[in-house]
Structure 1
Amino acid sequence: MRFALLCLSLALSASPSWGQEALGLASPDEVARSGLLKHILPRFSLKTGIRVVADDAGPMQIVTDAPGEPVFQRDGTIYLLRTEDDPRQQRFRDWLLSEIGKRTVESFQPPEGAPFSASFEVAAASVAPVVSGNAALGEKLSLAHCGRCHVIGPQNRMNGLGSTPSFPVLRSLPDWNNRFQQFYALNPHPAFTQVEGVTPPFNPERPPPIHPVSITLGDLEAIVAFVTAMQAADLGAPLQFQ
């Protein structure tokens, strides 16, 4: 009897803790109907003890338009994940972007239609973005708001943090436009950035760790216009191994 109780106790301690409120994840109908979420969510929950369920009103969202981080694609449609500044949501994001999460997505065999892919190499080439912002204003805003951490150009080449990529380096990346358009949703920016009419207010219990950055969508368009006109850094040819 004692042995049976011991086994039961060990089994319960090794099981996920369902006492916490489940995290809701909203998704487009085509993703929900495919069965993908029924495949990946229980596996994440069993791995981490964090319960995530499909919920159209959930705080996490899978969407097809920015902002968000690309997590998988199907039939040419790229799906992005939007999360809030919540440790459990960030844990789900990190898992979904990890090699284990990607393999879990790609191991799903839908009953009909094409499979999902978590690889985005084929999406590197894209149509040149249409820019309508004021580049001169964007330069001033970049120096004022972003120059604390990033080297913007010759104007502040002696400033910035050594661990933070410069604007010219970021401009050289294939996905530079998405990175700038969605910067406020990419860590560590959500902790101190507010975009008028887009981002939720800061949690009073978790104030920004540094002086907050407050901009409008018009300001963001100006910054993107400035970066669009910028000369990308020449990072040289890829290393060749023999």
Structure 2
Amino acid sequence: MRFVLLCLSLTLFASPSWSQEEIGLAAPDDVARSGLLKHILPRFSLKTGIRVVADDAGAMVLAGGPPGQPVFQRGGDIYHLRIQDDPRQARFQDWLLSDVGKRTVESFAPAEGDPFSASFETVAAPESDAIEGDAVLGEKLSLTHCGRCHVIGPQNRMNGLGSTPSFAVLRAMPDWSNRFQAFFALNPHPSFTQIEGITAPFDPERPPPIHPLRLTQDELEAILAYVSVIRAADLGAPLKLQ
């Protein structure tokens, strides 16, 4: 009996600990609802012994646009993976980009919507258009503040107002940089927007019509950095009036 217990304890001691190898992955709702993660994550875990779990606050972030490493596409959206300096996360990214990982993604057949593809081409914005700043923070700020009216990306595709252009449409305009740098001075933004150290306080007799949008100059730079790296919408050829 003692021998059996000893063997069992040694086996448990030698077995890998899933909790030590577990890493979280935050993904957009549309990807999570599709069932793709339930299809690919167990297969990666079986291959490597590293358990990846869906987690809204995960160390790895899958997003519907830059920055990050493009990993797969669905419809017109190319999803990017952002990882930290962690060999386990790097291994997951490498697996997604490998032939095995790509075949695993493309073998998944969603019950609804377009299939996922691991074969695509990305068109990067010209380097001269890139703006220095924290683009990851800029995406979060854009979703929190600008996402109340604008479609920022696949993350809030159904939440924007129909009367306001999406970020992708604005990014396609030749003067997109000027528009975003001075957005707080362009109607209707002055009535509810304040940039610390730039705009004047609200008039007490004319309070904001909606919950005010308050940003620091660093936060504004972060939003500009994010917009500078997103993919512009294809607006087609300019209209010609007869």
TM-score range, shorter chain: 0.3 to 0.5
TM-score by length of 1: 0.46
Normalised to the residue count of structure 2, the TM-score between the two structures is 0.46
Tell which has more relative contact order, 1 or 2 (C-alpha 8 A, sep 6+).
Answer: 2
